[in-house]
Amino acid sequence: MKKTVIIAILVLLSQALTVSAQKPNTCISCHKELADELQKPALLSGDDIHHKIGLSCAGCHGGDPSKEDAEEAMSPSKGFVGVPGTLEIPHFCGKCHSKPAYMRSSNLWLPPDQLEKYWTSMHGQRIRKQDKKAAQCVSCHSVHDIREVDNPQASVYAENVPATCSKCHADSTYMAEYGIPTRQMDDFKNSVHGAALLQKHDTGAPACNDCHGNHAAMPPGVTSLGTVCYQCHAAEGELFLASPHKPAFDAMGEAECVYCHSNHKVLHPSDDLVGVEEKAICVNCHSDGDAGFATAKSMKEAIVELQSKYKASKDLLDKAASQGVEVSEEQFALRGIHDQLLQMRKLIHAFDAQKSAAASDSAIKAAGEVHAAGMAAVKEVKSRRYYFAAFTLITLFLAGVLVMKIKSYGR
């Protein structure tokens, strides 16, 4: 019942709004005849979401779109406010977007909290300090051709977000006075997240806003980095929060996750990251004799062992398969071993030697079974050769006797 009422209201409203959109719009018709900056808004408006829902020029700028005469159309008495200054833009958009009652009538599902969040962000704080260079609504959403977030052509569509943020954040001249690096986009493009989002078009992968927030954009706090990464990497996050590293990192003020994995240039982690060898990260803090060193060593050894057993089984099965033994069931079991290998790599984040050892023991046992299956497959190859040898002997014997028979005919 409630749903029907809401839909009915929306239908009626959209009718009303479209009716108003069908009235003549002198803003557009006049500005189309002008040039350059004054012409642009009229040309772009076709793609604009506000224009589509019937909220045309006058809806934001005021004035009277029915009047032919420019002075009458753009008269302050009709509410004309002209072009807002850069620092006024958040207020300008907030005129509607921060009013829950108004937003409910036009888009029930669009939250009206963007402005509130914006003021807490770095960008909002800079705008309040009269810094015109800081990003405001238009910097990211564009103006006059604003598209919905799920429109692939929108500047704020997931795949386009990195490019939008980079407009400022990758420009070292523009960002010089703020003292923050501008290589984030380069790093991100070369990361697994960047490759997934930008090359494989996987919108499940994070863009800038997924970690930094949209309107409340801030670099995540060093000790709450976890909350950002854990949105997706929940398994690792859960383990880390319960691990001895959490209090340790907090006390040192070291960045969770980022310390080992980097922030923008997150690469596919290799087993070299963990352990006690030179390339491993563990030895940055741990040295021979402390508990952490021993844990790192045993975790690495367990993984290396499982990895080598996995590889050995895989080689065996591949060899048997290439020699004609059908091993699809065994290869399925091998997939299970691979899953356990993934699990053990996740378990590293618990930094708990006992947990890792327990997981490793069961995994290695399973790997042993797969290995045995692989050996059986190779044995099958051998048994076929024995059969062949026996068959050949019998055949050659018979052929030999027949040849003797031929000779005995003496012809």
Considering only the stretches 32-40, 212-220, 240-248, 328-336, report the one whose residues sit in contact with another protein under the rule CB under 8 A.
328-336
DSSP 157: S
Distance CA 362, CA 1 (A): 55
Question: Measured from the CB of residue 205, what is the shortest distance to another protein in angstroms?
Answer: 7
Query: Residue 96: helix, strand or coil by DSSP?
Result: helix
Contact with another protein (CB under 8 A) among 149, 232, 285, 364: 232
Give which of 166, 266, 150 is closest to 206, Cα–Cα. Answer: 266
Q: Mask 344-363, x = binds another protein (CB under 8 A)? A: --x-----------------
The answer to the question of residue 242 lying near another protein (CB under 8 A) is no
* Choice between 8 and 342, CB closer to another protein: 342
Stretch that binds another protein, among 102-110, 262-270, 288-296, 322-330 (CB under 8 A): 322-330
Residue ranges in 224-327 assigned as alpha helix (H): 225-229, 234-241, 245-252, 258-261, 291-322
Q: Does 270 bind another protein (CB under 8 A)?
A: no
Tokens matching residue 82: 């002209």
190, 335, 354, 358: residue in contact with another protein (rule CB under 8 A): 335
State yes or no: residue 385 binds another protein (CB under 8 A). yes
Q: Which residues fall within 8 angstroms of residue 262, CB to CB, at 6 or more apart?
A: 187, 191
Stretch that binds another protein, among 6-14, 69-77, 267-275, 339-347 (CB under 8 A): 339-347
150 binds another protein (CB under 8 A): no
10 Å CB burial of residue 13 (0-12, 13-18, 19+) is middle
Contact, 365 vs 322, CB < 8 A? no
Q: Say how many C-beta atoms besides its own lie within 10 A of residue 292's C-beta.
A: 19
252 binds another protein (CB under 8 A): no
Q: Which residues bind another protein (CB under 8 A)?
A: 202-205, 230-235, 323-326, 328-329, 332, 335-336, 339, 342-343, 346, 384-385, 387-388, 390-392, 394-406, 408-409, 411
